[in-house]
């Protein structure tokens, strides 16, 4: 009988009362491996109430004690990250080495949060006015919500919750229904690390759970990563309810390959960035823009590397695993059909892949399309699968215009040996994260992750100092201790002197 994946409250399992569930599958076999609970409104409110009840005590816990818990969590996660990687592979499908890389990048944010005492230091001005001191502090918001996507069930939540917890907030994490088990594993690890009851909670569910998080007045902020239409909805609904919202949306990431680029390096990068994790990354390169006469050679080099990839079960010796669900696999395949019908050349066809995995697995191999034009749906839409489109332009300016007129602005890259061209590109391109000969420019934890345009709704990017500012609010204090010389009645507006 399939196991049920429940909620987490007060450092223990909370079954809820709805009784509704959704299937969780192993994408490499197509088999149902469990059922995830789908919260009712009452279940969601119970989890939120628990986070709210725990907030005052955690807010008042000293920075020294908070940091000690963070360090404990870091040590436990580093020692046991292999366990988490295997859980991710079993429900997402990505190969174990890729899952381990995801956990390691999340671990960097935990390490960043361990330094929170330094990041929470305020300012102090003595004698700003006569015998009056002015100083500032940063304080936590309260219970905060994190709504995370299926493609990074560990790393994306870890962009947010280490900083939220370190700064004194309590957390309600709503993971994807497609791969929910990683969230419970992380919750259990927090308990082992000594985090008090109610500080880290997990709410399983669908839109019912999301809507309650967006509108419940006890939730003070919402952090979201997902598609642009849902990011718009989350931002509009959450802000209308008076919350802080950071909603990271979709992407259509371009890589510009200039004529002077090392084509072997560029081809390696296009394969790695286009097909890693079956293209189910918001930082995946899905559009390779070949400038000038290099397109034929570049396409040939990419095709040569692509055809040698091993596609199969992520627990085996595979380079790329399946897609997360059958519905998503079929949707991605339909874009290949549409691109071919629109006149793109299918150089490598993933629809006919022979994978080393279950016959019912959700398989789609790496696909390379050439002669793609900006009006094709394979270019205009975020496909979120292993489909790399090659667009041909004559000049740098045409490549730049292609990127800057695209509605998305998450990540981009340029491949060149010309420092002047690279410096011009980083200045002129309207995208939030830029790589120079780096195909997936995900910043380190002490910088902030986030895009521009339709790739971000809200003012704050994830982690880094922007993350610290998002999960805290400033308070300015003006102080004067009792001094008889300042007594008396004066109804005028206070003046400094």
Q: How many Å apart are CA 336 and CA 131, to the nearest integer?
A: 72
DSSP collapsed to 3 states, 364-395: CCCEEEECCCCCCHHHHCCCCCCEEEEEEECC
Structure tokens at 71: 């360090």
Distance spanning both ends of the chain, measured CA to CA: 76
Q: How many Å apart are CA 31 and CA 24, to the nearest integer?
A: 8
Neighbouring-strand partners of residue 129 = 132
Determine the angle formed by the axes of helices 63-92 and 181-193, rounding to 10 degrees.
150
**3 state DSSP class of 167:** coil
Q: Which residues are catalytic?
A: 282
**3 state DSSP class of 278:** helix
Eight-class DSSP state of 153:
T
φ, ψ (nearest 5 deg) of residue 36: -100, 135
Q: Give the list of residues 6+ apart from residue 214 with CB closer than 8 angstroms, or none.
A: 145, 222, 234, 237, 238, 241, 243
**3 state DSSP class of 241:** coil
H or E element in which residue 12 lies: strand 12-14
């Amino acid at each position: 009988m399939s196991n049920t994946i429940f909620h987490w409250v007060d450092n223990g399992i909370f079954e809820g009362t709805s009784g509704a569930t959704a299937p969780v599958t192993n994408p490499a076999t197509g088999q149902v491996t469990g059922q995830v609970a789908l919260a009712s409104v009452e279940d969601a409110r119970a989890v939120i109430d628990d986070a709210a009840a725990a907030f005052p005590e955690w807010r008042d816990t000293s920075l020294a004690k908070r940091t000690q818990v963070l360090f404990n969590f870091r040590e436990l996660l580093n020692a046991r990250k292999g366990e988490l990687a295997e859980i991710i592979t079993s429900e997402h499908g990505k190969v174990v080495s890729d899952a381990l890389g995801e956990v390691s990048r999340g671990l960097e944010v935990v390490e960043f949060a361990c330094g929170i005492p330094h990041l929470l230091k305020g300012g102090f001005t003595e004698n700003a006015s006569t015998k009056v001191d002015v100083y500032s502090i940063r304080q936590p918001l309260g219970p905060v919500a994190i709504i995370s996507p299926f493609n990074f069930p560990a790393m994306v939540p870890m962009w947010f919750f280490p900083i939220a917890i370190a700064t004194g907030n309590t957390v309600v994490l709503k993971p994807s229904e497609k791969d929910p088990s990683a969230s419970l594993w992380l919750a259990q690890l927090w308990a082992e690390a000594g985090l008090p009851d109610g500080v880290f909670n997990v709410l399983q569910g669908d839109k019912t759970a999301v809507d309650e998080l967006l509108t419940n007045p006890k939730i003070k902020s919402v952090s979201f990563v997902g598609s642009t239409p849902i990011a718009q909805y989350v931002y509009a609904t959450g802000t209308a309810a008076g919350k802080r919202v950071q909603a990271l949306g979709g992407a259509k990431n371009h890589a510009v390959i200039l004529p002077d680029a090392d084509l072997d390096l560029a081809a390696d990068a296009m394969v790695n960035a286009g097909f890693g994790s079956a293209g189910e990354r918001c930082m995946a390169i899905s559009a390779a823009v070949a400038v000038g006469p290099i397109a034929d050679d570049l396409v040939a080099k990419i095709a040569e590397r692509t055809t040698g990839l091993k596609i199969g079960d992520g627990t085996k010796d595979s380079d790329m695993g399946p897609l997360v669900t059958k519905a998503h696999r079929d949707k991605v395949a339909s874009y290949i059909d549409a691109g071919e019908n629109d006149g793109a050349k299918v150089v490598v066809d993933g629809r006919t892949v022979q994978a080393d995995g279950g016959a019912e697995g959700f398989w789609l191999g790496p696909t390379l399309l050439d002669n793609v034009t900006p009006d094709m749906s394979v270019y205009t839409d975020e496909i979120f699968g292993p489909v790399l489109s090659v667009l041909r332009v004559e000049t740098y300016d045409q490549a730049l215009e292609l990127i800057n007129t695209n509605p998305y602005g998450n990540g981009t890259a340029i491949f060149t040996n010309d420092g002047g061209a690279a410096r011009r590109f980083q200045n002129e391109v309207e995208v939030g994260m830029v790589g120079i000969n780096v195909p997936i420019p995900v910043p380190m934890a002490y910088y902030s992750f986030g895009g521009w345009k339709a790739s971000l709704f809200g003012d704050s990017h994830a982690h880094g100092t922007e993350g610290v500012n998002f999960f805290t609010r400033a308070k300015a204090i003006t102080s004067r201790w009792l001094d008889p010389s300042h007594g008396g009645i004066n109804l005028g507006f206070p003046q400094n002197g």
